[in-house]
Every structure is written in C-alpha cells, then in structure tokens.
Amino acid sequence: MSSAEARTEGAERLQKILAQAGVASRRASEDLIAMRRVTVNGKVAKLGDKADPIADVIHVDGQRIVTDANLVYLAMNKPRGVVSTMADDKGREAVADYIGNISTRVYHVGRLDADSEGLLLLTNDGTLAHKLMHPSYEVPKTYLVEVVGPLPRVVGRELMAGVELEDGPARLDDYRLKQAIDKQALIEVVLHEGRNRIVRRMFDHVGFPVQRLVRTAIGPIKLGDLKAGRHRRLNAGEVAALFKITDRKGRGAAQEETIREIPEVYED
C-alpha cells in the first residue's frame, strides 16, 4: 500500500512521522518531501501523504529511517566470562545483567562464546536480526585474534585459502598481521561465517590456538572505545547502515517473512 492510499488507523502525516523520528522539524520535513527526497515503500512521497510509522518503510535520501518508536538497537562490549544469553540457569553472569536499565525486552543478535569478548548487537527487531544472522546475507564480522608467536606467513595463506573442519570447509575473507612482539602475535581477521567457535577452530586447525578473541565490528557497526560491560544505543546512521547491508537478498535466501521472535541459531 502506498503512502497516498494509507487508510489504516495508525496512518499519520508523513512530516509528523519524520519529525518524531528526529529527521528534521515538521517544516523542514515538508521541504524534504517537496524536494522528492522521501520515499515510502519504494515510491516517492508528496506533500499531504500519510504513512503508518510501524508498517511502512520510509527512506530519506536513500537512508532507511526507523519510525517505530518501539524498536531498540544497542551495541554492547561483552566482557570475557559473560555468557551470551539473557539468563543463565547455572548462575553465570549473562548479557541481561549489563542492560538492566532497558525497559523493552531485547535479544542478542548471534553470540560470542563465554571466553570471547567484544561487540554484541541487541535488538527487538526480529526481521533485521534474522537477516544479520542468516549466512546468505554474508554480513562480515571483524575480530582481533591473539596467539602465541612467531606466526609463519603460510598461516594466513592457509586460512584465506580455506581449511576443512569437522562440520565443513571454512575460510577467512581477510587476514592481517597487526603486531608481532616476541612470542605474541595479534591478527585482524574478517569472515562472514557464523558457526559455533569458528575462529577458534580455524586457528586450532593450523596449530595456533587462540589466546584472546575480541570482536571489533559487525558489518558497519564498530566497537570503538566502548568500555567492557557498557552498552550504547545505535544512532540513526548506524541503524540505516545495518538496513542497507541487509536490504539485498543473500544468495539462496528464502522469500522473506516477518520474524516475530529472534532465533538463536548462529554462534560466533
């Protein structure tokens, strides 16, 4: 349904929706619409159009705008030793212990094993979370890997070419030696795989067990200087970047369906 045809009970003036989403004032939003810089469900909007802030997809200058005030998007720096669950029946520290001040229930997008640390995304947007986790969308993840050195150059070539693990082949998308001092080597790796402990198992396979593993980025979202155990809300540009990277269909992806609950199906 186009914005002009919107007749649902939740339909509102488009400039009001944009203003409430923090895009611009109502008057400035009207100017954006008049300049044909706003689309609703893929169609250029015009002054006087209405839209449903929950059901309709709105872009400004090609950037997806989050208009549903109920949606929450967070980045967290998971400390080592914390399990990637919202609750733990063994009494271990869990992600929920660090986000207790969030009134809306959120879910973690994928996991980091308890011994790993770094960036974890949390949201109640089930559709976006499903895309971020599904392998067909090939969302890249970046890690810093610490191993005992010295590290031969052949290790990088072997991991980039691919190794055969017990559950199938795996390879890195990128491998960069960042630092090598005495018996410690620090490597930055990128991959889009999401299998359980995939980075650790790949380095085990080539004879260099991981001593420390930190995820520093998920697609366009970077850990930055966020302190361990802290979380922050993603800004509008970051959320839009996540939508952009997942708007395309992945190779072999099934026809998209609305995901009402976030499945815990992939683990890093």
For the annotated catalytic residues, the residue numbers are 113
DSSP code per residue over 187-225: EEEEE---STTHHHHHHHHTT--EEEEEEEEETTEE-TT
Structure tokens given for 231: 């979380």
CA distances from 100 to 6, 228, 232 (A): 38, 15, 13
Q: What is the DSSP letter of 95?
A: G
- What does the alpha-carbon distance between residue 155 and residue 229 come to, in Å, rounded to a whole number? 33
Helix axes 236-247, 126-133, angle to 10 degrees: 60
For residue 206, give every residue at least 6 positions away whose Cβ sits within 8 Å of its Cβ, in sequence order, or none: 155, 158, 159, 163
- What does the alpha-carbon distance between residue 115 and residue 121 come to, in Å, rounded to a whole number? 17
Structure tokens given for 90: 């063994």
Amino acid at 262: I
Question: Tokens 């599904």, residue?
Answer: 134
Rounded to a whole number, what is the largest CA-CA distance in the chain?
68
